[in-house]
């Protein structure tokens, strides 16, 4: 089957997908405890498996190669989550006393708070629910009557906006 997938056989890949999708979903669900995140990571893993099929090794087992891609996908997701949490914590000031980030009352801190306040209300609410209160995508979607994909979009766009603001702080207010 691996040779067929390497050669771009979509039927072989389809058979492979249905053979492993539930197992892979379980792998991710066990780690994320989020149905939505497990679905997203499962799909992303299969997409990567297909896109990089030319790098597959016919001598190795198919499931070993799939779970290797799944592990890399999960590690990338964890890094992204940690980066986003760290960024939001810096802006809100939770780590200010420990990391040398802007302290409450300082100009940098106040500008960061203002930047956070300038986010659209729903986006700001989604970020707060996810990063500060620990809700998952599905819970946030239910609370705000939006889809989990919209929650994902708000988180992605909110972090992107806050990154730009932090970059401006670094440029215009470098540490002394």
What are the C-alpha distances in Å from 60 to residues 6, 63, 155? Answer: 13, 9, 38
Domains 2-80 and 93-172 share a fold: no
Per-position pLDDT tens, the chain of length 176: 888 888 888 999 999 999 999 999 999 999 987 787 888 899 999 999 999 888 989 999 888 999 999 999 999 888 887 766 666 666 555 434 444 444 455 665 566 666 777 788 898 888 888 877 778 888 899 999 999 889 888 888 887 787 777 666 666 666 54
Which fold would CATH assign to domain 2-80? Rna Polymerase Sigma Factor; Chain: A (1.10.1740)
- pLDDT tens digit sequence for 71-105: 999 998 888 877 666 666 665 554 344 444 444 55
CB 45 within 8 A of CB 24: yes
Domain 93-172 has CATH 1.10.10.10: yes
Domain boundary assignment for the chain: 2-80, 93-172
Which phi and psi (to 5°) does residue 104 adopt? -55, 135
Output the pLDDT for position 176: 47
CB 88 within 8 A of CB 159: yes
Output the pLDDT for position 119: 83
């Amino acid at each position: 089957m691996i040779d067929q997938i390497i050669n771009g056989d979509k039927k072989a890949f389809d058979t492979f997908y249905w053979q492993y999708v539930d197992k892979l979903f379980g792998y991710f669900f066990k780690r994320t405890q989020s149905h939505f995140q497990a679905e997203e990571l499962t799909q992303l893993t299969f997409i990567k498996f297909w896109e990089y099929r030319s790098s597959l090794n016919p001598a190795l087992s198919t499931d070993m190669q799939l779970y290797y891609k799944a592990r890399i996908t999960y590690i990338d997701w964890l890094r992204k989550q940690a980066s986003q949490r760290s960024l939001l914590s810096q802006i809100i000031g939770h780590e200010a006393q420990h990391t040398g980030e802007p302290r409450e009352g300082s100009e940098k801190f106040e500008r960061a708070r203002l930047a956070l306040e300038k986010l659209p209300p729903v986006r700001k609410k989604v970020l707060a629910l996810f990063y500060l209160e620990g809700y998952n995508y599905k819970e946030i979607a239910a609370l705000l009557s939006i889809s989990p994909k919209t929650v994902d979009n708000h988180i992605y766009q909110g972090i992107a906006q806050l990154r730009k603001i932090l970059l401006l702080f670094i440029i215009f207010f470098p540490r002394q």
